[in-house]
Structure 1
Amino acid sequence: MERIGIYGGTFNPPHVGHIQAAKQAVAALNLDKLVIIPTRIAPHKALPEDSPTPRQRLEMLRIAAADCPKAEVSDIELNRGGVSYTFQTVSELRERYPDAELILLMGSDMFLCFDQWRQPDDILKNAELGVFYRGTKGEKTAVAENKAKLEQRGAKIRLVENDIVDISSTQLRRMLAFHCAGPFLSPGVAAYIREHGLYDVNAPWKNLPMPELE
């Protein structure tokens, strides 16, 4: 049976942490394919003003994912339009791959609030969950408790302890405004950002505090 991972996010911008997580998922979960999906409109947060267009995020992600074997970037949520709800995406992929083992990837922060997602039980009917977590005692305990609770409802959950680059896209956008984000971007993505004038120094986040640079 084919094992397919599903990895969604805003990817604003896609950085080395995203690709490290993708590679780790392929290896740890023995995936035959990893479908990486940029959201059109995230249900839990609005993108900052002056963010790249959805198609620009898609193109950057395709550039970044070229370094990840077995990964393919999908525009399924961009084509659907509207708010990007995961249950709809998983349902559509289940129809596309009726005999595959689907594994929805997420970080521990999203896993711990999984019951607040739109129609979580529909997701659990169509896919297993693959949860990345760091090995701190508090996080291990919280993840284990939520795992046990969801498994009582029939969920299948796989845990993957990770050591990916610890940087958020918000931090990276601030660094881009100051032209110091190079170590966290693939050369191709960095070139695309320069070519299209994205995350410019006049962007709103330029004025956000950046203690690391003071």
Structure 2
Amino acid sequence: MRIGIYGGSFDPPHFGHKSVAYYTIKNLNLDKLLIIPVGRASHGKNNLSDNILRYEMCDIVFGSLDKVEISKIEIEKDEISYTYKTLNEIMEIYGKDNEYFEIIGGDSAAYFTKWKNYEEILENSTVVILRRKGYVSEIDSDKIIEFENEYFDISSTEIKEKLRNNEDCSGILDDKLIEFIKENNLYR
């Protein structure tokens, strides 16, 4: 099986994230794409919305997509999330004989060599880099694929600001997600 692993804060998940899911399933010919909301981020940014709410938001955005599974593998733990550890656990669950693709953005690729045990990630998976405006990957490995995907030129931080200011987010967020955000009084 060809299994993609797409982790992130998903706070909130937006159309850019959804387009990455579609794009990678199609272009990598994946049998399964695991969406993994981060638990406790290793880079210290732990000002995230509640884990369960982020999981539910991912379910709203990605849950109906064919070949997608939303995983609680990181959010159910009370420890720092490291990609290499998550990858090892996924390999234990699904088996070492599968082909794994770790999907990251160009912003992450710019500092990938600073990730804990990044060599182990390259050993156990192919790292798929999706370009992102303003970032350049410095990784050189035959275990790297770089995609010239379309830019979705907005960040979750900018979306949160729009939500705080009661601006229209219908072009960047799923309508059901906007309802969920309002019902749960998020980003106010």
Q: 2: distance between equivalents of 1:80 and 1:45? A: 16
2:92 maps to which residue? 95
Q: Percent identity?
A: 36
**Matched AA of 1:93:** I
2:65 maps to which residue? 68
Query: 1:176 and 2:181 equivalent?
Result: no
The alpha-carbon deviation at position 106 of structure 1 amounts to 0.3
Q: Is the 8 A contact 2:61 2:174 kept in 1?
A: yes
TM-score, normalised to structure 2, is: 0.92
Greater alpha carbon shift after TM alignment, 31-40 vs 67-76: 67-76
1:42 maps to which residue? 41
Q: Is the 8 A contact 2:131 2:148 kept in 1?
A: yes
Q: 2: distance between equivalents of 1:30 and 1:123? A: 20
Per-residue deviation, residues 179-205 of structure 1 (Å, max 9, x unmatched): 2223211011111111111112xxxxx
Structure 1 residues 167 and 67: alpha-carbon distance in aligned structure 2, compared to 1, 3 A threshold: farther
Aligned length: 186
2:56 maps to which residue? 59
Q: Which has the larger radius of gyration?
A: 1
Three-state SS of the structure 2 residue aligned to 1:36 is strand
2:185 maps to which residue? 197
Q: 2: distance between equivalents of 1:159 and 1:24? A: 13
Q: Is the 8 A contact 1:104 1:129 kept in 2?
A: yes
Q: 1: distance between equivalents of 2:10 and 2:89? A: 21
**Matched AA of 1:182:** S
| Runs of 4+ with deviation above 6 angstroms | none
1:204 maps to which residue? none
The alpha-carbon deviation at position 67 of structure 1 amounts to 4.2
2:150 maps to which residue? 163
- Alignment root-mean-square deviation, CA: 1.7
**Matched AA of 1:88:** K
Q: 2: distance between equivalents of 1:18 and 1:45? A: 22
Q: 2: distance between equivalents of 1:158 and 1:69? A: 23
Q: 2: distance between equivalents of 1:59 and 1:164? A: 25
In structure 2, list runs of 5 or more residues that go unmatched. none
Q: Which has the higher helix share?
A: 1
2:122 maps to which residue? 124
**Matched AA of 2:26:** A
